[in-house]
Structure 1
Amino acid sequence: MPTETFEFQVEARQLLKLMIHSVYSNKDVFLRELVSNASDALDKLRLAVLRDDTLDADTSDLHIEIDIDAEARTLTVRDNGIGMSHEEVTRLIGTIANSGTAAFLRELREAGDAAGADGLIGQFGVGFYSGFMVADEVTLLTRRAGESEGTRWSSRGEGTYTLETVAEAPQGTSVTLHLKPADAENQLHDYAAPWKVREIVKRYSDFITWPIRLVPEPREGEDTPEPETLNSMKALWARPREEVSEDEYRELYQHIGHDWREPLETIRLQAEGTFEYQALLFLPSHAPHDLFTQGYQRGVQLYVKRVFIMDDCEELLPPYLRFVKGVVDAQDLSLNVSREILQQDRHIRMMRRRLTKKVLSTVKEMRESAPERYATFWREFGAVLKEGLVTDSENRDALLAAASFASTHDAGAPTGLRAYTERMKEGQDDIYFMTGESREAIENSPHMETFRAKGVEVLLLTDPVDEVWVDAVGEYEGKRLRSIAKGEIDLGGDEDGTADEEKDKQGEAYAALLGWMTEHLADDVKEVRLSSRLTVSPACVVSDADELTPALENMYRAMGQEVPRAKRILELNPEHQLVKALNRAYTEREDRTELTETTDLLHALAVLAEGGRPKEPARFVSLVADRLERTL
């Protein structure tokens, strides 16, 4: 049959131009697409032989072959799979966005053969045309298994293509790309270079089931060497657990995580049913230095039927699990025509939900069964995991169950909220906590004094995110989370009411001083009152129960959100000798000059005690120096 020339339809010609120049952001994916199509063809032949034992087809060595001719600048991807008939080439290759694999999947599903469809990859109909991104001309030679004649299709991608029947053609399909010239622009993408082909296959197609072989270039006077198999074909997540060694897990983690250390924990998940996928995830043992930077790259790779799709798949896990490394291999996903942009659909949300729950349950189990490894995990990743308490209300209970916090109960061992509530004193209704820059700073804070004296446990929260999540969570199992540095504190203690009587007497004795101090410090505090939280220090500053702490104010300002600066409350310890002397001086002296300086010093000392800065540092230093001079 003579060669026939056909014209693409106007719409197809426009789509071809758009696809070549716009759809793919990375030209390397052309080889991924051709290899995926070849893999599909091998799967189809295997299934066809199982269905029809009379089919005359050679299945003894099913494989994919890549042949490079650097001198002629051609690259050929060849398979010995099912191949195509002349009618199929006309119908499928001649029409962009039509897919034989998609039709084949439809037929299998209609026949109820879902298991047979699992190995098929391409469903998008345009992957074949990605070759035009790197080639001036593409030639396809194919013969369907069981037929005697083959078909050659050829096009320069400029609006026409040719078709001819070939008497002699091997079973399967070969796609030959006549590569564009290698110039300065394409020197990093010289697809006639074996090293470049090896790199692409390793990145995108390493786990394809069938061997991908690179045909070596013959050298004069030497025997032709054996073809080099480029892919490992070792998809660890698809193999039974008992067949995978710890060394293999470690090697995969180090490869995809770019980490020379061993993983802290390995997580496997296999979902079956209407939507199937497999996941192999790793918890690292060390947090990277850029974990909290804006451009941090996440570590979960997405595959579709063992074909690499993307490296940094943000849709698969929430941001607070961005440290997790691993692979997710799905059987069927809604992708765009280039397979590069994941569309948000119910399958993605389903995967994200289940993967998140699996990681959190693994952390919880690690805490219960491997406390040493859990301690390492929480030290490295606890701060980022707690971000989820703010952003992920759906998994908040699971996060709280997996979380732990430093506590005054045990200086060395963090505690969970459940353990805290089990140790609460009789009559205690709140879970007490305090935030600060360090454990030492919190433990030395005046706010801790009455809690230490009465043996009431306090959670010591030192991560910046702690300022936010405690307000977002609010309570745990009916117990309110309450800051010991906000609002009034009453730990009770005297059942006969004598403490209340004493408090009333003190209130009357100090009423005049408190009123004067409130007026004097009106620019800085909203109220001066007696404290029930101090036993040693003369004074402390606290926030109102419903106001932001200074640390949270500063955090919002650092993020560019302007918030009004709230006035604090100054609390005085009525049992402290300095406060008693101040009250006597106010009662007995009419000259308030020295009293004013002492009040300012007392307020500044209270601000310093919580890690703040006096309003007028220079004046504060001058006043302190003056008082020290008087003592000498």
Structure 2
Amino acid sequence: MTTETFEFQVEARQLLQLMIHSVYSNKDVFLRELVSNASDALDKLRLAKLRDDALDADVSDLHIEIDTDAEARTLTVRDNGIGMSYDEVGQLIGTIAHSGTAEFAKELREAQDADSAEGLIGQFGVGFYSGFMVADEMTLVTRHAGESHGTRWSSRGEGTYSLETVDDAPQGTSVTLHLKPADDEDKLHDYTSAWTIRDIVKRYSDFITWPIRTVPRQGEDGTVPEAETLNSMKALWARSREEVSDDEYHELYKHISHDWREPLETIRLQAEGTFEYQALLFVPSHAPHDLYTQGYKRGVQLYVKRVFIMDDCEALLPSYLRFVKGVVDAADLSLNVSREILQQDRHIRMMQRRLTKKLLSTVKEMRENAPERYATFWREFGSVLKEGLLSDSDNRETLLAAASFASTHAEDGLTTLTAYVERMKDGQEDIYYLTGESRESIENSPHMEAFRAKGIEVLLLTDAVDEVWVDVVGEFEGKRLRSVAKGEVDLDGESEERADGEREKQGEEYAALLGWMKEQLGDDIKEVRLSARLTVSPSCLVSDTGDLTPALENMYRAMGQEVPKAQRILELNPGHPLVQGLNKAYQEREDRTGLAGTAELLHGLAVLAEGGRPTDPGRFVKLVAERLERAL
């Protein structure tokens, strides 16, 4: 048969070298690409036979073979699929010679960065050429189903490729790689090693529909072992729910998550229509130790037509669902030539929206129908889920409906915002909350005294994210979220008419003392005023409505952001003996020098009550010791 030789265009050699050395970050993916092409060919033949039963093609044992020869240093990937005609080989395998290479190379040179370059390369479907990363020469032999003659294509990936018609080609396609000479690196990537081939197939192509078999070679004793099937072909997400047991789900979860415990929840999703994909997601039963670290690998495994694409696909789920593990298998996606970087298109965004909504609805259903499992989920992942209240405005209402919070009135320790609103007292207009390091410290806070005395429910928020999301959300079902440690409170106004003139009378009685204390404490505070929230403690510190809390200030500083220190407001309890005694002494004495220490003590006690530290701890201890000495 006549062999025709074709020259690549002038820029082709440079272009091939770029793809071989720059596009793929892992040489192993060449086998994934060849196996994927073979799987597509088998799919096409099955469909063609269904459409035309008269097609002269054998479909009794559709499969993929991988044949290695260590002595000859060759690796062959063979399928008995649809195959290609002579013209199709020139059009498909010769794409690089017929795709406007000069124009493409010009665009490549003008690309501003590596991402732009990979985007351009992704316009050319040339994954086949990844074989030149490991081979000096590639040979392809193919025969289209129903045709009598085959085609051989070969190239060294340099300046030319050849085409010829052959008579003895079997149905399907065979790609032989003449591997480069072995070197030190080849010890770790010996593509003639059965173990290496088995590992790559297991990692990238385990769930492909068709069997991927080895070609056994005769041993020294003259026997030929049976062919080994390398892939499991068990894509659980593609099988009906009735066919898959819980044990099989749990085994897959443990495999992809490296977690020895069973998942808390298993979620299946199948989308049909113009864009099809399947998802199998798992909610773990416990949070990993590095969930909040910067290096935590998040995302689910991404497959396209059961071919593994990437391990941690962050684009498919928002960061606040980073604990979710699983698999998403799409019928088609816009990928670059290396299948390693997803192009941002509407399909990706559509999948993220759908998967997010499914997960959040599952959490909500768990809370309503499986309270024990939900309690475990919220204990492990509640704080990270609340991050979504800051970043995901589209699902904020769903997140609020799925969330739970510790409360002074919840029987089981947790409540929903809906349940809180249902329990609100007549005339109560706000949802009250208090943030702190622990439930115990919040419940012992002086800010809680009046609310406890009047039986008003307060949410007890102890996660770091709580300092932020309450301000971002602002309200729920028309009820304002309000901190009991910010601004002024008037609880009497919500339950009964306050006695006329009582506050005004107290204000006049303490006005001089409050002004004097402000002068004594100076820049440490913004204002000194009487409190309506204290019933037991002598004093407390509060923030203005729009100010940052001390905890939030510390968070920003820990992240390297400089924020001005907000001045706090010192509130005094006019019913406490210490405050009453100080006011009486102030009114009776002309020399008030000795009272300054008491003013400092009231401020220091307020700082300690909220878990803070006095500006000068040594002086504070000295003042306390002096007062104790006088009392003895």
| CA-CA distance at 1:310 after TM superposition | 0.6
Seq. identity, %: 81
Between the aligned partners of 1:181 and 1:583, the Cα distance in structure 2 is 94
Aligned partners of 1:12 and 1:95 also within 8 Å: no
Shift of 1:495: 7.5
Deviations 1:558-609 (A, max 9, x none): 1111111010000000000000000011011122222100100110010000
CA distance in 2, matches of 1:285, 1:495: 44
Give distance in 2, aligned partners of 1:420 and 1:496: 21
**1:362-382 superposed Cα distances (whole Å, 9 cap, x missing partner):** 000000000000000000000
- Cα distance in 1 between the residues matched to 2:401 and 2:452: 27
The equivalent residue for 2:228 is: 228
Partner of 2:142: 142
1:32 and 2:32 equivalent? yes
Q: Give the corresponding residue for 2:130.
A: 130
Amino acid aligned to 2:560: G
Partner of 1:417: 417
Q: C-alpha displacement at 1:10, in angstroms?
A: 2.2
| Residue of structure 1 in register with 2:509 after alignment | 509
Between the aligned partners of 1:143 and 1:399, the Cα distance in structure 2 is 56
Distance verdict in 2 for CA 1:243–1:628, change over 3 Å: same
Distance in 1 of aligned mates of 2:582 and 2:47: 94
Q: Quick one: which amino acid aligns to residue 599 of structure 2? A: T
Counterpart check, 1:399 vs 2:405: no
1:581, 1:82 → 2: CA distance? Answer: 98
Q: Give structure 2 stretches of 5+ with no counterpart.
A: 100-121
1:277 to 1:600, Cα distance in 2 relative to 1, 3 A: same
What is residue 306 of structure 2 aligned with on the other side?
306
| Other-structure match for 1:170 | 170
1:256–1:299: 8 Å Cα contact kept in structure 2? no
The DSSP-based 3-state class of the residue aligned with 1:541 is strand
CA deviation digits over 1:331-381, x for unaligned, max 9? 121111211110111111111111101000000000000000000000000
Aligned-residue offset at 1:162? 1.9
- Match of 2:386? 386
2:84 alignment partner, SS class: coil
Q: Give distance in 2, aligned partners of 1:484 and 1:446.
A: 10
Q: Map of 1:107-256 to 2, 5 A cutoff?
A: 125-256=125-256
Counterpart contact for 1:97–1:125, Cα < 8 Å: no
Distance 1:285 1:452 in 2: 36
Give the AA of the match of 1:406.
A
Which deviates the most, 453-462 or 51-60?
51-60
Deviates more, 1:215-224 or 1:617-626: 215-224
- Asked if 1:62 corresponds to 2:75, the answer is no
| Contact residue 514 and residue 529 of structure 2 kept, 8 A | yes
Measure, in 1, the Cα distance between the counterparts of 2:471 and 2:610. Answer: 20
In structure 1, runs of 5+ residues without a counterpart are: 100-121
Aligned residue pairs total 610
1:575 maps to 575
DSSP-derived class of the 2:95 partner: coil
Asked whether 1:50 is paired with 2:50, we answer yes
8 Å Cα contact 1:97/1:124 also seen in 2: no
Find the aligned partners of 1:222 and 1:123 in 2 and give their Cα distance.
Answer: 50
Greater CA drift, 584-593 or 314-323: 584-593
**Does 2:533 align with 1:533?**
yes
Q: 1:494 to 1:564 in 2, by over 3 A?
A: closer
Instruction: Write the distance in 2 (CA, Å) between the matches of 1:302 and 1:523.
Output: 57
Match runs of 1:294-333 below 5 Å: 294-333=294-333
Shift of 1:46: 1.2
Whole-Å separation in 2 of the counterparts to 1:25 and 1:97? 24
CA separation in 2, counterparts of 1:413 and 1:181? Answer: 68
CA offset digits 1:37-89 (Å, max 9, x no partner): 10111111112222222222111100000011112211110001111122222
What CA distance in whole angstroms lies between the structure 2 residues aligned with 1:140 and 1:347? 34
8 Å CA contact 2:537, 2:576 repeated in 1:
yes
3-state SS, counterpart of residue 521 of structure 1 = helix
Contact 1:78 1:174 in 2 (8 A): yes
DSSP 3-state at the match of 1:310 = strand
Task: Give the whole-Å Cα distance in 2 for the aligned partners of 1:479 and 1:457.
Answer: 14
CA distance in 2, matches of 1:40, 1:330: 14
| 1:553–1:563 CA contact under 8 A, matched in 2 | yes
Query: What's 1:443 paired with?
Result: 443
Give the SS at the match of 1:611. coil
| 2:590 matches 1:621 | no
Rounded Cα–Cα distance in structure 1 between residues aligned with 2:52 and 2:393: 54
Counterpart of 1:571, as a letter, is E
- Say whether residues 1:271 and 2:274 are aligned partners: no
Q: Which residue is equivalent to 1:603?
A: 603
For the Cα contact (< 8 Å) 2:427–2:494, is it kept in 1?
Answer: no
Q: Deviations over 1:212-265 (max 9, x none)?
A: 011233211142111111111111111111111101100111111111110000
RMSD of equivalent CA atoms: 1.6
Task: Report the CA distance shift for 1:411/1:296 in structure 2 as closer, same or farther (over 3 A).
Answer: same
Contact 2:427 2:495 (8 Å CA) reproduced: no
TM-score by length of 1: 0.94
Match of 1:551 in 2: 551
CA distance in 2, matches of 1:568, 1:272: 57
Q: Give yes or no for contact 2:85–2:143 (8 Å, CA) kept in 1.
A: yes
Alignment partners' CA distance in 2, 1:330 and 1:497: 64
Q: Secondary structure at the match of 1:229?
A: coil
Given residue 165 of structure 1, which amino acid in structure 2 is its aligned partner? T
TM-score scaled by structure 2? 0.94
Q: Which residue of 2 aligns with 1:566?
A: 566
Off by >6 Å, runs of 4+ in structure 1: none
Distance 2:61 2:501 in 1: 95
